[in-house]
Chains A and B, each alone.
Chain A
Amino acid sequence: MTDMTRRGILAGSAAAAALLLVGEGAMAQSRRILVLTSNQDIPNFDPHLASGYSTAWMMRNVYDSLVRVEGNPPKPAPLLAESWTISPDGTEYVFKLNPAARFNDGSPVDAAAVVYSFERILRLNRGNVWMIAGIVKPGSIEAVDAQTVRFRLATAFVPFLQVLPWIWIVNPRQVEANKGSDDGQAWLRANVAGSGAFAVRRAEPGNLYELERVAGNWRQGGGNLTGAIWKITRETATQRLMIQRGEAQIALDLTSEDMDTLKNRPGVDLLIEPEYRTFQIKMNTRHGATMDANLRRAISCAFNYQAMLDVAGYADLMTGPLPESIDGFDKTLQPWRTDLARAKEFLARSAHPNGGIKLTITHVSGLEQQRRWALVLLDSLRALNIELEIRSAIWPDLVASCRSPETLSDFFPVYQTANYGDADNLAYAGYHSSRNGNWQNPVYSNPKVDALITSARAEADPEKRRALYAEFQRTVMEDACDIFGVLERRKLALRNTVKGFAFTPVASNAPELFPLSLG
């Protein structure tokens, strides 16, 4: 036994501390955890109930779908399905599954699992089922053999491949074992039965969700992440500070002001890209003074679009009902722009040639940007001798007001996000009369527009489809049912240590972890 001197103890302690530090450093190196900061919680893990971008982020990393979406413009790419064929009439899709695909409990992802998953979401009738509602009917999906699955669509639906990334495949064995009396909803609310490259390690509702890479997952390769944390940060200023300090690597909900503050900060990359999220001020086409198309046209000409753009920050003015970057946008479309002389001409042809009326706008309370746009509208309408009353309401009240033309205000400002990268998404949800009563299209109805949208959904020839959408856009513009506002650009801040991030205008705020690395 050696003598224990004070110097010896100190030296030993220092060596131990150094070892500890080296150990921690090595551990940090071996654990490559990406932190994403967002203001949205992930309320439920059931892939067939879930909707919203935060949930989409988790689902697309812990579950797999038949196809995934990639690129700009977004295109379907193989995932569980390694190939597919489409019948000439567009009503039959046959998918060949990747034989290597395995759920994380080791069982194969086979055709029966695909059938089970689609039947379950149709049965529950929640979450993303609206994407295939009326298109895929219960009993119309068939497991031809273990690796082949056939869909017989009720009607041809060209964007079918575009919606498939959002219908996730569950492990029937696990769900059946925990089915209970509610089709496994209680179990799947907090558990995962998927084949995704990541699994849930830690869930702290309202705070964070941690995913870790699944050892031996069927998908090999990809980036070097060992895990990721979805950190819920309600205040965007805090998100920005976290990026500045390197506590988070991707911030998803920053404002234009935050982006300006982060410009030229060392170690921070900014991504500002056009996306498919539209903002428009819908007009009540079926009740009150705004039923008059000439009054709506007068308002469309009187509106100060430049002021709206100035308020919006990183955004572009919309030309019509569709974003300019989406396939089907009509480049020859003449947008409504500020022209007071023209506005007065339309007003003279309306039932209120001298104005003298009072209209109402109700915006979402707390959304400062919407309040400012309402002020722009108020100022614009003064030129037509029209008064504007600005009201605010919480979102459920606004949704309730969409029930009928009588309960809806004259103006209803609304954002609309494209869930899949096809013109059908925005056209069908925003302008088809079957959506009346819902907030995306509370009242607008035009049989010609309905027919054009329905035809375009089924038209496989791209040129003919573009022609149908061009006619749709011209008709909607002529009806002046909305003040076509702005297309906000997606604003993401990333630490420059993040590698492998490729922007896609669909779900860019719910990135796939598989290809990402931390440098």
Chain B
Amino acid sequence: MIRYILRRLLLLVPVLVGLSMLVFTIARLLPGDPVRLAAGPNATPADIASVAKEFGLDRPLLAQYWDYATGLLRGDWGVSIFSRRPVLEDLSTYLPATLELVLAAMILAVAIGIPAGLMAAVYRDRWPDFLSRAVSLGAISMPRFFLGLLFQLGFAMWLGWLPLSGRFPLTEDPPSAITGLLTIDALLSGNFHALGIALQHLALPAIAMSLSPLATITRMMRASTIEVLQQDYVTTERALGLSRGKILFKYVLKNAVSATLTVIGLYFGWLLGGTVLVETVFDWPGLGLYATQAVLTQDFMPIIGVTLCIGTLFVLVNLLVDLVYGLLNPRVRLR
């Protein structure tokens, strides 16, 4: 198992090198002129050349990539042309907010989606099934940003139960940063008041983010449970007189959840790169908004930094999924 993990981690290196080369080249070949933009509307050609020189953009592409790649090894992820802030510093600011949101959304989606799918399969073509299918269809058809706006109107404006936006009340100081995830930091520092507030702020955006994966997980889980329930070994277990609960939770669940795990892994990566609309609606200061801003201004280094960051997380999450998959299904041996 350890050799397998190490091998997969080593495989991460060529993946990231390839990814960085690809993104680096694409970012440089785009037709826009961020240097001219960064130099300002009144910049002379000499000013523009000076900005290009400052960021090493006057050098050959290969030399620029070499500088970037060697910089990465030293922990230097480059500097934004516009803000002149180091990209690594920005990533460490924005990533925790997005991670917190995506983790919360995935926890909700998994915690509700798997039991819901299981129930729908067990009560196939009865009301729990119809209910779960209707909810899934609605959740997957509704755009996340629109749901977000509806939630804001319903739960924040009309009912006043939850905050409208943001991660923490504006005029209160958040718990001291340890991980950057406010809920975890509040827990680690034993500040339960802050934990409650952070959870209140997290609720609406996390629910809005979770609905799409929740629907997919529910439907996947339902389909794979129905398939497993029709297997011969389940019939045998029933014939042997095993209780329904034992059959369902000891034998069916393990086999049915394997296919869903792959979807969970893929969804995690997809959510990491697709938070921008929910972040916009809920003022969630995360990676999505940062990446969008970088793309709109063609700010090279943040674009590459975000891509590498999400790429790394995506590969790591899928590695984790593969490991869990192996644990759940003894027929799949990781060597």
**Chain A hits for B36, CB < 8 A:** 396, 399-400, 403
Known: A395-B37, A400-B32. A234 touches B289 (CB 8 A): yes
Taken residue by residue from 35 to 54, chain A's Cβ proximity to chain B (1 for < 8 Å, 0 otherwise) reads as 10000010110100101000
Assess whether B167 is in contact with A44, with CB atoms less than 8 Å apart.
Answer: no
Q: Quick check: is B136 within 8 A (CB to CB) of the other chain? A: no
Most buried by B among A51, A238, A366: A238
Q: Mark B12-41, 1 if CB is under 8 A from A, else 0.
A: 000000000000000000111110110011
Residues A403 and B33 in contact in the complex (CB < 8 Å), given A205-B90, A237-B149: yes
Q: Does A270 contact B (CB under 8 A)?
A: no
B279 CB contacts on chain A under 8 angstroms: 234
- Residues of A within 8 Å of B173, CB to CB, are 202
Q: Which of A378-437 contact B (CB under 8 A)?
A: 394-397, 399-400, 403, 429, 435, 437
B296 touches A394 (CB 8 A): yes
Nearest Cβ distance between residue B222 and chain A, in whole angstroms? 35
Chain A min CB distance to B197 (Å): 14
B residues within 8 A CB of A366? 296
Kindly report which residue of chain A lies nearest to residue B152, judged by CB atoms.
A241
> Which chain B residues in 61-113 approach chain A with CB under 8 Å?
80, 82-85, 90, 93-94, 97
Contact of B164 among A28, A185, A208, A238 (CB under 8 A): A238
Please determine whether A206 and B290 come into contact, CB atoms closer than 8 angstroms: yes
Bound Cα distance A233, B45 (Å): 35
Q: Which residue in A28, A232, A242, A396 is a CB contact (below 8 Å) of B34?
A: A396
Q: Is A235 an interface residue (CB 8 A)?
A: yes
- In Å, the complex CA distance between A126 and B84 comes to 12
Roughly how many angstroms separate A438 CA and B43 CA in the complex, as a whole number? 8
Q: Flag if A395 contacts B297 (CB, 8 Å).
A: yes
A105 to B45 Cα, complex, angstroms: 40
Contacting pair B171 A396 (CB below 8 A) = no
Report Cα–Cα, A214/B171, bound state, in Å: 18
| Most interface-central of B149, B170, B282 (chain A CB within 10 A) | B170
Task: Note all chain A residues with C-beta closer than 8 A to B82.
Answer: 43
Q: A125-B47, A130-B40, A237-B149 are in contact. Are A206 and B31 (CB under 8 A)?
A: no
Verify B40–A233 contact, CB threshold 8 A.
no
**Interface size for chain B: under 10, 10 to 19, 20 to 34, or 35 or more residues?**
35 or more
Residues of B within 8 A of A247 (CB): 164, 170
Task: List residues of chain B with CB within 8 A of the CB of A130.
Answer: 40-43
Contacts of A49 in B (CB 8 A): 84
Give the number of chain A interface residues (Cβ < 8 Å).
50
CA gap between A52 and B73 in the complex, in Å: 34
In the complex the two chains form, what is the Cα distance from A400 to B38 in whole Å? 12
Report A227-276 residues with CB < 8 Å from chain B CB.
Answer: 229, 231-235, 237-238, 241-242, 244-245, 247
The reply to whether the CB of B298 lies closer than 8 angstroms to some CB of chain A is: yes
| Residue A195 is within 8 A (CB to CB) of chain B in the complex | no
Residue of A nearest to B31 (CB): A397
**A residues in contact with B37, CB < 8 Å:** 395-396, 399
Question: Is there a chain B Cβ closer than 8 Å to A133's Cβ?
Answer: yes
Residues of A within 8 A of B34 (CB): 396
Contact (Cβ within 8 A) A396 B283 = no
> Nearest residue in B to A428 (C-beta to C-beta)?
B42
Contact indicator A35/B93 (Cβ below 8 Å): no
Is there contact, CB below 8 Å, between B84 and A233?
Answer: no
Whether the Cβ atoms of A400 and B170 lie closer than 8 Å is no
- Give, as a whole number of angstroms, the nearest-CB distance from A25 to chain B: 13
CA distance A511 to B9 in the complex (A): 52
Say whether A51 contacts B40, CB under 8 Å.
Answer: yes
A145 at the interface (CB under 8 A from B): no
A207 touches B167 (CB 8 A): yes
Say how far B219's CB is from chain A's closest CB, in angstroms: 31
Q: Given A206-B285, A207-B167, does the pair A438, B42 have CB atoms closer than 8 Å?
A: yes
B317 to chain A, nearest CB (A): 24
Q: Is A349 positioned at the interface, with any CB of B under 8 Å from its CB? A: no
Report A-chain residues with C-beta under 8 Å of the C-beta of B42: 130, 133, 429, 435, 438, 440
Provide the bound-state CA to CA distance between A242 and B171, in Å. Answer: 14
Instruction: Knowing A202-B173, A206-B93 are in contact, say whether A233-B33 is a contact too (CB < 8 A).
Output: no
Interface residues of B in 166-205 (CB under 8 A from A): 166-167, 170-171, 173
Does A33 interact with chain B (Cβ within 8 Å)? Answer: yes
- Give the docked Cα–Cα distance between A402 and B264 (Å): 46
B281 at the interface (CB under 8 A from A): yes
Interface residues of B in 260-319 (CB under 8 A from A): 279-283, 285-286, 289-290, 293, 295-298
Q: Is B255 an interface residue (CB 8 A)?
A: no
Q: Report B-chain residues with C-beta under 8 Å of the C-beta of A51.
A: 40
Interface residue B162 (Cβ < 8 Å from any Cβ of A) = no
Query: Is A439 in contact with chain B by the CB < 8 A criterion?
Result: yes
A397→B83 CA distance, assembly (Å): 19
Q: Which residue of B lies closest to A245 (CB)?
A: B164
- Interchain CA distance A244-B160 in the complex, whole Å: 13
Q: How far, in whole Å, are A244 and B153 apart by their CA atoms in the complex? A: 12
Q: Which residues of A contact B31 (CB under 8 A)?
A: 397, 400
Whether A399 touches B40, Cβ cut-off 8 Å, given contacts A44-B84, A232-B285, A394-B298, is no
Q: Bound state CA distance, A241 and B31, in angstroms? A: 39
Contact of A44 among B30, B40, B83, B293 (CB under 8 A): B83
A/B interface sample: 26 pairs, CB < 8 A: A31-B171, A35-B170, A41-B83, A43-B83, A44-B84, A202-B173, A204-B93, A206-B93, A206-B285, A231-B170, A234-B279, A234-B289, A235-B281, A394-B32, A396-B33, A396-B34, A397-B32, A399-B33, A399-B36, A400-B32, A400-B33, A400-B36, A435-B41, A437-B45, A440-B41, A440-B42
Closest 9 CB pairs between A and B? A396-B32, A43-B83, A400-B33, A207-B285, A130-B42, A206-B285, A397-B32, A396-B298, A234-B280
B residues with a Cβ closer than 8 A to A are 30-34, 36-37, 40-43, 45, 47, 50, 80, 82-85, 90, 93-94, 97, 149, 152, 156-157, 164-167, 170-171, 173, 279-283, 285-286, 289-290, 293, 295-298
Binding site for B on A (CB under 8 A): 28, 31, 33, 35, 41, 43-44, 46, 49, 51, 125-127, 130, 133, 185, 189, 202, 204-208, 229, 231-235, 237-238, 241-242, 244-245, 247, 366, 394-397, 399-400, 403, 429, 435, 437-440
